[in-house]
């Protein structure tokens, strides 16, 4: 079982990826400071609790496990918070990644899969968005992720550190076996908030904007199942181990669903109404974000399985209803 290091391995996408890695025959070593991650989500390998920005800690982890590759999820992810506190985002996401890369170099670990985001594109000029779309992030979160992508290209050019950047659209759903799910605190994402409202565990949903230029006036997003994201990471690690590197791929289904469609899907899946109110548009939200994922399909042989929004919402519902 080849050891791979998974930063943010106790987080939402990181933990699902650890499960997929274990199933594919790797040993995932989760590195997580547990600021937002959960110890209970680490089930498929050891947990090393610490910070990617702590060089001495990272050196010890590399020396102990000798990983053949790194999957790098650890990051702060809240767009609004990144606007209010950019120092936190550039410090943790950008400076933390530089420390991680330096520790990798010192340990002669030369392959990394990076958790990037659709936010690197900013306000889309057209949808679906392909990788060749201009990169113009509109907030510090997106800029922090783009800076890391640029750093990775420079590291490859200078030191031969092979990297694959995976730009996720809207990660959604939960492990179909019910072993893992989405637990952010605070929660800002649509599906858990809508499900929580239907369960009576959260206040009525606020739908941010009903006056977008979309069929029903609410914003369109490309919701991609977290298990499909996890599968793409396994394929990316294998591609790096085969010697390919320095690429960036979108991960999405290619289908846009509106906020209203999500509310309807929660209703259909659960039989419960989602109480909601309309609220003004949220600052920085684009009307439509839909991926072209043809690159990932061609290069990685990736094919998302949970492409139907009802199936995605059903896995999220099962997880939250059981909590």
Task: Select from 54, 81, 285, 294 the one that contacts ligand UFG (CB under 6 A).
Answer: 285
- Asked if 147 is part of the footprint of ligand UFG (rule: CB under 6 A), the reply reads no
How many residues are recorded in the chain?
A: 323
The footprint of ligand UFG on this chain (CB under 6 A) covers a number of residues equal to 21
In angstroms, the CA 41 to CA 18 distance is 9
Which residues in 254-273 contact ligand UFG (CB under 6 A)? 259
Q: Mutual orientation of helices 12-23 and 226-241 as an angle, nearest 10°?
A: 60
Q: Which is nearer to ligand UFG, 152 or 286 (CB)?
A: 286
Q: Which is nearer to ligand UFG, 10 or 58 (CB)?
A: 10
Q: Report, in Å, the least distance between residue 159 CB and ligand UFG.
A: 29
Task: Select from 207, 226, 230, 296 the one that contacts ligand UFG (CB under 6 A).
Answer: 207
- Asked if 278 is part of the footprint of ligand UFG (rule: CB under 6 A), the reply reads no
Q: Which of helix, strand or coil describes residue 13?
A: helix
Q: Which is nearer to ligand UFG, 71 or 193 (CB)?
A: 193
Task: Select from 115, 116, 117, 253 the one that contacts ligand UFG (CB under 6 A).
Answer: 117
- Candidate ranges 5-13, 55-63, 147-155, 199-207; the one touching ligand UFG (CB under 6 A): 199-207
Strand segments (E) across 2-110: 2-7, 26-32, 47-49, 69-72
Catalytic residue positions? 141
- Asked if 188 is part of the footprint of ligand UFG (rule: CB under 6 A), the reply reads yes
Concatenated DSSP letters for 91-142? IIIIIHHHHHHHHHHHTT--EEEEEEEGGGS-S-SSSSBPTTS-----SHHH
Concatenated DSSP letters for 204-242? PEEEE-S-SSSTTSS-EE-EEEHHHHHHHHHHHHHHHHT
Task: Select from 55, 60, 91, 208 the one that contacts ligand UFG (CB under 6 A).
Answer: 208
- Asked if 305 is part of the footprint of ligand UFG (rule: CB under 6 A), the reply reads no
Token digits of residue 58 = 């990272």
Q: Report, in Å, the least distance between residue 284 CB and ligand UFG.
A: 8
Task: Select from 29, 193, 230, 237 the one that contacts ligand UFG (CB under 6 A).
Answer: 193
Report CA dihedral (97, 98, 104, 105) to the nearest 10 degrees: 160
How is residue 90 annotated by DSSP? I
Which residues in 210-249 contact ligand UFG (CB under 6 A)? 219, 221
- The residue among 160, 201, 221, 159 whose CA lies nearest residue 323 is 201
Q: Report, in Å, the least distance between residue 170 CB and ligand UFG.
A: 5
- Asked if 293 is part of the footprint of ligand UFG (rule: CB under 6 A), the reply reads no
Q: Which is nearer to ligand UFG, 53 or 284 (CB)?
A: 284
- The residue among 222, 293, 289, 290 whose CA lies nearest residue 262 is 222
CA 63 to chain centre: 27
Binding site for ligand UFG (CB under 6 A): 77, 79, 117-119, 141, 170, 188-190, 193, 205-208, 219, 221, 259, 282, 285, 289
């Amino acid at each position: 079982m080849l050891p791979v290091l998974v930063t943010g391995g106790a987080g939402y996408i990181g933990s699902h990826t650890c499960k997929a890695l274990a199933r594919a025959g790797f040993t995932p070593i989760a590195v997580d400071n547990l600021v937002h991650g959960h110890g209970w989500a680490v089930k498929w390998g050891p947990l090393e609790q610490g910070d990617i920005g702590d060089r001495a800690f990272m050196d010890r982890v590399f020396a102990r496990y000798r990983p053949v590759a790194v999957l790098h999820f650890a990051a702060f992810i809240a767009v609004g918070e990144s606007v209010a506190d950019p120092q936190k985002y550039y410090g943790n996401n950008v400076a933390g990644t530089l420390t991680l890369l330096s520790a990798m170099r010192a340990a002669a670990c030369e392959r990394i899969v990076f958790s990037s985001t659709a936010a690197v594109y900013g306000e889309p000029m057209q949808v679906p968005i392909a990788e060749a779309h201009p990169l113009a992030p509109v907030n510090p979160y997106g800029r922090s992720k783009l800076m890391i992508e640029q750093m990775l290209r420079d590291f490859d050019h200078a030191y031969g550190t092979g990297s694959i950047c995976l730009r996720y659209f809207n990660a959604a759903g939960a492990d179909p076996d019910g072993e893992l799910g989405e637990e952010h605190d605070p929660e800002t994402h649509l599906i858990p908030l809508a499900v929580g409202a239907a369960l009576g565990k959260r206040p009525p949903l606020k739908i941010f904007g009903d006056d977008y230029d979309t069929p029903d006036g609410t914003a369109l997003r490309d919701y991609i199942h977290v298990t499909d994201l996890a599968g793409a990471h396994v394929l990316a690690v294998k591609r790096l181990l085969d010697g390919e590197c320095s690429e960036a791929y979108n991960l999405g289904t290619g289908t846009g669903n509106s906020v209203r469609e999500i509310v309807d899907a929660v209703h259909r899946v659960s039989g419960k109404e989602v109480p909601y109110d309309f609220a003004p548009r949220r600052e920085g939200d684009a009307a439509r974000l839909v991926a072209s994922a043809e690159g990932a399909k061609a290069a990685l042989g990736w094919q998302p399985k949970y492409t139907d929004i009802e199936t995605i919402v059903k896995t999220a519902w099962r997880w939250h209803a059981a909590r």
